[in-house]
Structure 1
Amino acid sequence: MMIRIAQQLWLYRNFITGSVKREFQSKYMNSLLGVAWTVIQPLSMILVYTLIFSQIMRAKLPGVESQYAYSIFLCAGILTWGLFSEITSRTQNMFLDNANLLKKLSFPWYCLPVTVIASAGLNFLIIFALFVIFLVVTGNFPGWVILAGIPVMAVQLFLAGSLGLMLGVLNVFFRDVGQLYTVILQFWFWLTPIVYPLDILPERLQQIIHLNPMTGLMSAYQNLFTRAQVPDWSSILPALGVGVVFFLLAVNFLRKHANEIVDEL
């Protein structure tokens, strides 16, 4: 099944790249600040949380002495969470937003989530490049260990795309799904160790937070950038497992109800 999907995506690669290019151009063409908006939103969040937690609440990272440690910790979490949030939020509406396209053209529907992931990934690369420059300038670049973030990112993108695909299918039939997920996403953010280190929580609460599949991913990023540690690969397996489940459910639902989805659009 995966091989067949990969083959279809390769055949329609020009469709995907063209869609990403058009979306990027239309998003920033008539904007005065253009691509700068990609940087402004996450940067403002990082500044606010740095002020609140690092300055007001005097939050510190155990075992890390760098004066930039908490800012790096925040960047690692907020930037990658922003990528996850953007993908899942956009894919939940992709069938509704592309209703006319789905009715008029014949193409593999898997192209839509891949287009969203590629577009969000392009935006992420812009802000991530600035983050890397900050690490180099402050002398906190982790070195070759940064390459260990590639498989972590791959698992995150798979989880986000699979969850978004499942939400997108359900949102066609139950329009409340989109609204509900927006609320869930807010709670999910605070139940993930993004702005606070997991170690500062009581042990019982840590056990609950560990049930969150995003916990392992965020910890992997944060340890990589703040401590230059290779991720504990077992910690990202829950995210991979959840992603597989969502992917199989979504693909199965698409196959059984493809015609019904078109009728509902």
Structure 2
Amino acid sequence: MVNTFKEVKAYRQMLISTIRKELRSRYKGSFLGFLWTFVNPVLQLTIYSIVFPLLLRNNQENYPMFLFVALLPWIYFTTSVQISTTSIVGNANLVKKIYFPRIILPLSVIGTNLMNYIFGLIIVFPALLITGVSLTWHVLWLPLVLLVETIFILSISLIFSALYVRFRDLEHIVSILVMVWFYLTPIVFPIDIFPAKVEEAMHYNPMVPIINSFRDVLLYGRAPEWSSLLYSAAVGIVLIIVGLITFKRCEKSFAEEL
């Protein structure tokens, strides 16, 4: 693990350059260009805000913001995991031609989507204020919550990106997994609509404390529930160790498998 960190540090300029390149090229040639960073989540917000209150007969106060502060970190999670899964295979020519720490590839995907989330806050903060939400000093916990989510995203991304080189069906499995995961996480509904036993079981989903923490610091103006957030952080750290071990073992045969 220490060697991996040293390698990433040594190749940090490559990581930064890759993220910059991805940010510039993601919407290159499109009419709206960089504005798609804001348009995509706003369109999803609009659809969910109209459809789900009708389907669920949801009377959640300030539902658009209840949804929005959870939707953006969820997009960060799903986009990072899905793109990271194919990041090694998608850069096969680069992997086979030159040496660099292969972990740079999933890291660059996560870094790019992290920047997109941060840009999305340009909409979130004004929207909260416009809808009457008072931001408190607890918003300062936001970087910590984001760090916990990023650790969890990295752990999943390392495992999936390494395994996908050998098991190409994993891409389809991940798509299904993400879809199911969405409905096991209180993005479009409050978790307390479920019976007590179901609600208790859902808290074992590491994304539940993370999403709840985003709502706590942004929407409700309070500190995260530390014990729950610590659980998500612990799961992320354990999985990151598993992910690093898996990635390093698979990395040796990347060129052959590709």
- Of all paired residues, the percent bearing the same amino acid is 28
Q: What CA deviation, in whole Å up to 9, does each residue of 1:190-209 have, x standing for no partner?
A: 11011110112111210221
Q: TM-score, normalised by structure 1?
A: 0.91
Kindly state the Cα deviation for residue 56 of structure 1 after the two structures are TM-superposed. Answer: 6.0
- 8 A Cα contact 1:83 1:120, kept in partner: yes
Distance in 1 separating the partners of 2:208 and 2:131: 27
Residues 1:215 and 2:208 aligned together: yes
Matching residue's letter, 1:75: F
**Residue in structure 2 matched with residue 60 of structure 1 by the alignment:** 59
Distance in 2 separating the partners of 1:5 and 1:42: 34
Distance in 1 separating the partners of 2:201 and 2:73: 22
Kindly state the Cα deviation for residue 32 of structure 1 after the two structures are TM-superposed. Answer: 0.6
Kindly state the Cα deviation for residue 13 of structure 1 after the two structures are TM-superposed. Answer: 1.8
**Residue in structure 2 matched with residue 49 of structure 1 by the alignment:** 48
Distance in 1 separating the partners of 2:203 and 2:130: 34
Kindly state the Cα deviation for residue 132 of structure 1 after the two structures are TM-superposed. Answer: 0.9
Equivalent of 1:169, from 157, 162, 169? 162
Equivalent of 1:143, from 114, 124, 136? 136
Kindly state the Cα deviation for residue 57 of structure 1 after the two structures are TM-superposed. Answer: 4.3
Distance in 1 separating the partners of 2:202 and 2:246: 30
Distance in 2 separating the partners of 1:226 and 1:176: 39
**Residue in structure 2 matched with residue 224 of structure 1 by the alignment:** 217
**Residue in structure 2 matched with residue 192 of structure 1 by the alignment:** 185
Distance in 1 separating the partners of 2:155 and 2:203: 21
Q: What CA deviation, in whole Å up to 9, does each residue of 1:49-70 have, x standing for no partner?
A: 1112335644133xx5xxxx21
Structure 2 gap segments, 5+ residues each: none
Segment drifting more, 129-138 vs 84-93: 129-138
- 8 A Cα contact 1:93 1:171, kept in partner: yes
**Residue in structure 1 matched with residue 227 of structure 2 by the alignment:** 234
Give the match's secondary structure for 1:109. coil
Q: CA RMSD in A?
A: 1.7
- 8 A Cα contact 2:84 2:109, kept in partner: yes
- 8 A Cα contact 1:213 1:242, kept in partner: yes
Q: What CA deviation, in whole Å up to 9, does each residue of 1:135-165 have, x standing for no partner?
A: 2333314222111121111010111111011
Distance in 2 separating the partners of 1:109 and 1:150: 27
- 8 A Cα contact 1:73 1:225, kept in partner: no
Residues 1:24 and 2:23 aligned together: yes
Give the match's secondary structure for 1:230. coil
Residues 1:10 and 2:9 aligned together: yes
- 8 A Cα contact 1:91 1:161, kept in partner: no
Instruction: Give matches, 1:81-160, under 5 Å.
Output: 81-160=74-153
- 8 A Cα contact 2:209 2:229, kept in partner: yes
Matching residue's letter, 2:41: P
- 8 A Cα contact 1:132 1:141, kept in partner: no
- 8 A Cα contact 1:72 1:225, kept in partner: no
Matching residue's letter, 1:18: S
Kindly state the Cα deviation for residue 185 of structure 1 after the two structures are TM-superposed. Answer: 0.5
Matching residue's letter, 1:208: A
Segment drifting more, 79-88 vs 123-132: 123-132
